[in-house]
Chains A and B, each alone.
Chain A
């Protein structure tokens, strides 16, 4: 697993990856808009306010869209799922699907998902799996 790509982390997103290492999915949320956004940045992309906070997401989401890659990528053997997850808090993010075959029959859109975490050596990466799965 450690040959998978690791993100180049920026100063503004360090908290997000630190959170993942601690087993938490952290989001930025605008105080004025009372809305979470993604990816993290120290201001609200809707209103421009710098009055934002860090919140722990529920970790729940749904399968919004996906492809099954049949091309190899660094650290990934095909076939593998690249999914877009819509978080319960609203924002969408890319994830793989753990504990789930790379088969369209196993991937109904809107399927309930929950966060899990993948260890890649120095970095821990948020991932999703079908809600209630054990992987």
Chain B
């Protein structure tokens, strides 16, 4: 029998999502943080550990009135918040702090922020941006034609990712895009970077989210329903230059991060009731399903097209609609975590009946980083 060591006790998104021109990026962090603290009955003075990405963690601490004994500014792209859960678990178990706040805020649409961009990296700037590869839609998609040729992935299968996720988004009142779409709609939407069309690309939104974590034995004293971390998750890096990926049909960082998370959680794929795979673009859930081992290499596109991840399917995936339909502020990983927590609390507007174990997998940069955590309703297993 293994007892959970760490729990998520507070979880919330910003009061509003989508277009939030009345808040700065710092304000989005704070709004989400105050909502997450209220969720578990805590105040900023109760927090002694803090983590964020894409923003100076010290500014967030000062702005909220937090005096930390532990901080994590790991900023490897949109999966950073999933990585923070893993790092926070290690810090809590080592006794470096007792209560961790992880915040995300991003004024992706209204652009009320100071720019300290992570990308382009020095090598991207020198060897990729030089060729007009200036924006994510024309970089993140670069491996896909090779995957299509080598493994038979089709553009219709990529389109189905967007169609299925829109079905999930229809359940979520806060999703930005909720109207049903068809494969024809996707394939007739504006061409962005062949073979990718607009409906295969994520939304651009404002928003934020925050989590509060503490040791599992303390979670019992909280007013909220705890969600437990099973195992310690996984993380890896491959690097920002997409042209240098070891393989164009599979992400090394996805595979390593996923394998680590499954092994230390001591779970099999059949144990997974619910899955979140960060989808900045529609090919990512296909890579994710394959690289996490839910299907074999080259089988992800058909698996989604056959309906296995849609409402009523055997592997409900991206049940908030994902970055394609729910929201995408730029670093979406926090919203994948939030939906997973809602599912484990049994309160998602697209609730999967009886879901007890959820895997959250995220990408950072453009196949640059990956992290994976396993969340569960169970305090022991």
Residues of B within 8 A of A79 (CB): 194
What is the size category of the interface that chain A forms with chain B? 20 to 34
Q: B144 within 8 Å of A by Cβ?
A: yes
Residues of A within 8 A of B139 (CB): 82
Given that A68-B194, A94-B127 are known contacts, is A82 also in contact with B241, CB under 8 Å in the complex? no
Of A13, A65, A70, A82, the residue contacting B131 (CB under 8 A) is A82
- Per the bound structure, the CA–CA distance linking A6 and B143 in Å amounts to 24
Q: B381 within 8 Å of A by Cβ?
A: no
Q: Are B131 and A39 in contact (CB under 8 A)?
A: no
Given that A68-B193, A70-B194, A109-B149 are known contacts, is A8 also in contact with B133, CB under 8 Å in the complex? no
- Per the bound structure, the CA–CA distance linking A52 and B139 in Å amounts to 30
Given that A39-B123, A64-B248 are known contacts, is A82 also in contact with B146, CB under 8 Å in the complex? no
* Contacts of A34-57 to chain B: CB distance below 8 A: 38-39
Closest chain A residue to B196 by CB distance? A67
Q: Are B127 and A64 in contact (CB under 8 A)?
A: no
- Per the bound structure, the CA–CA distance linking A95 and B243 in Å amounts to 10
Of A64, A71, A76, A80, the residue contacting B146 (CB under 8 A) is A64
- Per the bound structure, the CA–CA distance linking A7 and B134 in Å amounts to 13
Centre residue among B138, B139, B144, B190 by max chain A CB count within 10 A: B138
Q: Are A10 and B122 in contact (CB under 8 A)?
A: yes
What is the size category of the interface that chain B forms with chain A? 20 to 34
Given that A65-B144, A69-B138, A70-B193 are known contacts, is A80 also in contact with B132, CB under 8 Å in the complex? yes
- Per the bound structure, the CA–CA distance linking A65 and B139 in Å amounts to 11
- Per the bound structure, the CA–CA distance linking A23 and B69 in Å amounts to 56
Closest chain B residue to A93 by CB distance? B243
Residues of A within 8 A of B146 (CB): 64-65, 84, 109
* Contacts of A1-28 to chain B: CB distance below 8 A: 4-10, 13
Of A8, A71, A92, A109, the residue contacting B138 (CB under 8 A) is A71
Of B126, B193, B241, the residue contacting A67 (CB under 8 A) is B193
* Contacts of B247-302 to chain A: CB distance below 8 A: 248
Given that A39-B123, A70-B192, A70-B193 are known contacts, is A65 also in contact with B134, CB under 8 Å in the complex? no
Residues of B within 8 A of A73 (CB): 132-135, 138
Q: Are A67 and B243 in contact (CB under 8 A)?
A: no
- Per the bound structure, the CA–CA distance linking A76 and B134 in Å amounts to 10
Q: Are B125 and A7 in contact (CB under 8 A)?
A: yes
Q: B39 within 8 Å of A by Cβ?
A: no
Q: Are A65 and B132 in contact (CB under 8 A)?
A: no
Q: B320 within 8 Å of A by Cβ?
A: no
Q: A113 within 8 Å of B by Cβ?
A: no
- Per the bound structure, the CA–CA distance linking A79 and B196 in Å amounts to 13
Q: Are A93 and B191 in contact (CB under 8 A)?
A: no
Q: Which 9 A-B pairs have CB atoms at the shortest separation, nearest pair first?
A: A68-B194, A76-B132, A73-B134, A65-B146, A67-B193, A7-B126, A73-B132, A69-B138, A65-B145
8 further A-B pairs in the complex, CB-CB below 8 A; given A7-B125, A39-B241: A5-B130, A67-B142, A67-B195, A70-B194, A71-B134, A71-B193, A82-B139, A94-B130
- Can you identify 28 A-B contacts, CB atoms within 8 angstroms? A5-B129, A7-B125, A7-B127, A8-B122, A10-B122, A38-B127, A39-B127, A39-B244, A65-B143, A67-B145, A67-B194, A69-B137, A69-B193, A70-B192, A70-B194, A71-B193, A73-B135, A76-B134, A82-B133, A82-B138, A82-B193, A84-B243, A84-B248, A92-B244, A93-B127, A94-B142, A104-B195, A109-B146
